[in-house]
Chains A and B, each alone.
Chain A
C-alpha cells in the first residue's frame, strides 16, 4: 500500500473499539458560546447587581424560548442545505389564530394543539413545494412568507386582538409559568432541544439530514429518501413554530398586534448561524442554536439593563454573527491547509 499523503486529524490516537465512535458531543464553537455567555452575564452582574436575580433572568429565559424552539427546526432545515424565511409569517398566522380561539374561551390543550396543527400545515406547504418542486428553498419560502403574511393579516381583521385571557399563563413569565423557579417555556424548549440533539446524533434518520446537506445527490444514491426527509424538516419546523407561537402569546400582555412575528425569521437564522451551523448544509447542532439564541437574548436584555438604546442590540447581533462565522471560516481554512 502506498504511504498515505496526509494522516488526517486524530490519526495519532490508536482507536479502541468502543471509544470515540462519533465526533465529540460538544463542539468547540459551543464551548466558546458558553464562555461568551458567561462573560456577558458576569459583566452585566458587575454593572447592574440586579441582573443575577430571578426577576431579571427569568424574563430572559422566557424570551429565549420561542427563538430557540423555532431554531431547532431551522437548524434541521439548514443542515439539509435549505432555509426557511417564512417562519415570521407562520408565527403570525399561528398566534393570531390561537389568540382568537383563546378569546373565545378555548381551553389550554385544544388551543396548543390547534396552534401546532396549523403550524404543521404551513410547514407542510413549504416542505411539499421545496421537496417536490425542485426549487431552491430561499425562493419558495420568500414566496410563502408573503402568503403567510397575507393570511395572518386577513385573520387579524381589525388592528389587534384584545382581551386574551391568561390561559397560556403556564408558558408565561408569572408564577404560574414556573417549575422549581425555572420558566416552563424554557424547560420545554430545553427538553425538545435535547431530544432533537439525541435524534440528530444517534438515529439513522437524524444522520440522513446531514447526508442530504452534504450532498443530496449522493444521499439519493445511497438510498436515502431525500424528498421525504426534506419535507419532514420543514414539517418539524412548522410544528415547532406552532408551539413557539403559544409562547409568544403567553409572553405578551392581553393584546396581540400585527407586528407579531415580524423579523423573527432573521432572528432565528442569526441564532442558528451563531450556534455554528453551516449555512451550506451538512454540519450543525441544535445545542449550538440553543446557545446562540440564549446569547442573542442575553445581549438584547443586557443592552436594556445597561440603559442603552434597545435598537443597539441589533448592532451587537450583527457583530456576533460576523465573529462567530468568521472564526468558523478561519478554523475551516486552517483545517484544509493542514
Chain B
C-alpha cells in the first residue's frame, strides 16, 4: 500500500504539470485570518482552475472551512489577495462572491423549512417580472434542475421542511447550480448522502467540469477524492502544505500529509472472553424505521453495526437507549427482557450511549468540562440526591480527563472552546462516570481529527478489555473494521450479514450495498488511512482527469 510517491512535496502551490495554461479561475495568495485570539489561517495559497475538481483536505481545525468562507464572501480575510481570471478582486460579501459566479453548497443545508423548494432555490436571485416574482418561470427552471439531480419534479412546490435530510442536501446543490456558476464549492457534500446519491452528485460534478466550471471539493472521506478530484490541496495547522496532482497521491499519503507524520495501521489483537450475551436484540423493530434486528453483545466484546446513512442504523441505537420505543421484537439485558422508555431508564439499567451528533445531542456549549461530565449523573454525584457534591464532581472530572487524555488546562474550561476531538472525549467521559455495563457508541469519531480518532479507538478497546459490552453504530467502515470483534451489516432497516475480525472492506461494502452495484465500486478498497492492508494500489484507480472529461 505504501507505494513510492513524491517524497519531496512542492512547498508552494506550483501548478501541477498537467494543469491547463492561462490564469487560474481563482487564485488565493497569502491568505490569513484570525478570530479573536485564534489564528484560523496563517498562510493560505490555492489556485483553482476551470474545468477541474480541486479537493481541499485537512484535519478539523486545519482551516479548510475558513478558506471556503473567505472564498464565498462569508468572512473577509485579514491579509492576502484573491484574483479571479487573473484580475484582482475583492470579495467582501456573499453578494460579491455570487456576482463572480462563486456558488457554495454548505455542509449543513442552508434552507428555509417553511418555503417551497422552488423558493429556496431562487431566494436572493428571484426572477422578477414587473415587480413580482415570476413563479411559473422559476418553477419550470426548478423542475429541470430537480430532474437533473434525480429528484421528482413536483418537489418544486413542496415546503422544504417536509423533505428528508438527504433530499434537502440535493436541494442545496440545485440552489448552487441555479445561478451561472463559475466556481462551485462543495463543503463535505457527501457526509449525509447515501452512496447512490453520491454517485448522482459525482455525475453532476463531472458534467459541470466538462462545461468549464471550477469545483472546490471538501471531504473527510479520502477515498472519494480518488473518484472525483484532479488536484488536492492539503492544509495543516492553518497553512496550506501544498497542492498535488491526484496521480501522485494515495489515501495513505494524503492522510500522512494531513497529520504530518507516519500512520500505524495495526489492528490490536484482542481475546474476547466467552460467556452469555449481555445485550441481545431479538427481532427488534420500530415501524417505518427498522425491523427484525438481531444483535448480541457479550461482556468485553466490541460489536459494530455498520450501515450506510438511511439504512436505519442510527434509529436502532436510539431505541436501545430509550429515546424511541421499539414496536416489535424484544431487547434483553443479561437475559431479562427490557423496554426502556427514556434515557433515564436505560441509564439506570447500566446502558450508556454516546450520541452521534456531538454539538446537538452531546455538548452543553458554554458550560464547563466538569459540568458536561457530571450532567446525567447528578444523583450519583450528590448528597441525598439534592446537593451537588462539588468535591466529588471535581475528582471524577479530573480523573476522567486524565484517563481519556483530554487536552485542557483545567476542568472549568468551557467545552465550546475545545476542538472536536477533545469535546468528543468529554462527551464520552460522561458515559463512563457510572461504568456502564453496555456502552452504545453512535458514530464515535465523526468530525474528529485523525489523532483524536486513534485515541478514542484506544479508549474503546480498553473499555472492552475491562469488561464492558460495546456496541458501535457507525457508517465509517474502516473504523468498524479496525475496532470491532464482530461486524454486522445493516441494510434496508435490518441486520443482514455478519463478519468476523478478518473481514475485508470489499466484502463488507458489497454486503452493505446489497444488490445495488455502485458504479464507484472499483474505488472502495482505497477507503481510508487505517484500512487493513490488502495491498491494492489505489492511485489511478479513481477518476483521472481524462476520464472525467
Tell whether any CB of A sits under 8 Å from a CB of B in the complex: yes
Please list the residues of chain A having a beta carbon within 8 angstroms of any beta carbon in chain B: 1-2, 4-6, 8-11, 13-15, 17-18, 20-23, 202-204, 207-208, 210-211, 213-215, 217-224, 282-283, 335
Chain A residues with CB under 8 Å of B110's CB are 215, 217-218, 221-222
Extra contacts, 14 of them, besides A9-B158, A22-B157, A214-B111 (Cβ < 8 A), are: A2-B194, A8-B158, A8-B159, A13-B154, A17-B136, A21-B118, A23-B116, A202-B133, A202-B135, A204-B128, A213-B114, A218-B110, A221-B74, A221-B94
Distance in angstroms between the alpha carbons of A221 and B96 in the assembled complex: 11
Q: Kindly identify which residue among B106, B114, B135, B155 contacts A21, using a CB–CB cutoff of 8 Å.
A: B135
Q: B132 at the A/B interface (Cβ < 8 Å)?
A: yes
Q: B237 at the A/B interface (Cβ < 8 Å)?
A: no
Contact A203 B133 (CB under 8 A): yes
Contact A20 B157 (CB under 8 A): yes
Contact B123 A23 (CB under 8 A): no
Please list the residues of chain B having a beta carbon within 8 angstroms of any beta carbon in chain A: 72, 74, 94-95, 98, 104, 106, 110-116, 118-119, 123-126, 128, 131-133, 135-136, 138-140, 150-159, 162-164, 167, 175, 194, 196-197, 200, 310
Residue of B nearest to A1 (CB): B150
Contact A8 B196 (CB under 8 A): no
The smallest beta-carbon distance between A78 and chain B, in angstroms, is: 13
Q: Is the interface of A mostly helix, strand, loop or mixed?
A: loop
Q: Kindly identify which residue among B139, B163, B196 contacts A1, using a CB–CB cutoff of 8 Å.
A: B196
Residue of B nearest to A224 (CB): B124
Interface centre among B114, B119, B133, B197 (most CB of A within 10 A): B114
Interface centre among B112, B133, B135, B138 (most CB of A within 10 A): B112
Contact A15 B133 (CB under 8 A): no
Q: Kindly identify which residue among B95, B157, B197 contacts A15, using a CB–CB cutoff of 8 Å.
A: B157
Residue of B nearest to A14 (CB): B154
Contact B152 A223 (CB under 8 A): no
The smallest beta-carbon distance between B139 and chain A, in angstroms, is: 5
Contact B124 A222 (CB under 8 A): yes
Contact A17 B197 (CB under 8 A): no
Known: A15-B154, A214-B112. A2 touches B197 (CB 8 A): yes
Chain A residues with CB under 8 Å of B128's CB are 203-204
Contact A17 B164 (CB under 8 A): no
Distance in angstroms between the alpha carbons of A283 and B74 in the assembled complex: 26
Contact B106 A8 (CB under 8 A): no
Contact A18 B136 (CB under 8 A): yes
Contact B162 A8 (CB under 8 A): yes
Known: A203-B133, A217-B110, A282-B112. A8 touches B155 (CB 8 A): yes
Chain A residues with CB under 8 Å of B140's CB are 17
Contact B136 A21 (CB under 8 A): yes
Known: A14-B154, A21-B139, A207-B123. A214 touches B132 (CB 8 A): no
Contact A207 B139 (CB under 8 A): no
Contact B115 A214 (CB under 8 A): yes
Contact A221 B106 (CB under 8 A): yes
Contact A223 B163 (CB under 8 A): no
The smallest beta-carbon distance between A79 and chain B, in angstroms, is: 10
Contact B95 A223 (CB under 8 A): yes
The smallest beta-carbon distance between A33 and chain B, in angstroms, is: 20
Known: A23-B116, A214-B113. A6 touches B164 (CB 8 A): yes
Known: A23-B116, A211-B123, A215-B112. A220 touches B94 (CB 8 A): yes
Interface centre among B133, B164, B167 (most CB of A within 10 A): B133
Chain A residues with CB under 8 Å of B123's CB are 207-208, 211, 219, 222, 224
The smallest beta-carbon distance between B370 and chain A, in angstroms, is: 29
Q: Kindly identify which residue among B112, B125, B135, B167 contacts A211, using a CB–CB cutoff of 8 Å.
A: B112
A-B contact pairs, 5 of them (CB 8 A): A1-B151, A2-B196, A8-B158, A20-B157, A222-B175
Chain A residues with CB under 8 Å of B151's CB are 1, 4
Contact B133 A207 (CB under 8 A): yes
Contact B154 A218 (CB under 8 A): no
Distance in angstroms between the alpha carbons of A224 and B135 in the assembled complex: 18
Distance in angstroms between the alpha carbons of A283 and B132 in the assembled complex: 20
The smallest beta-carbon distance between A147 and chain B, in angstroms, is: 31
Distance in angstroms between the alpha carbons of A13 and B110 in the assembled complex: 27
Contact B154 A9 (CB under 8 A): no
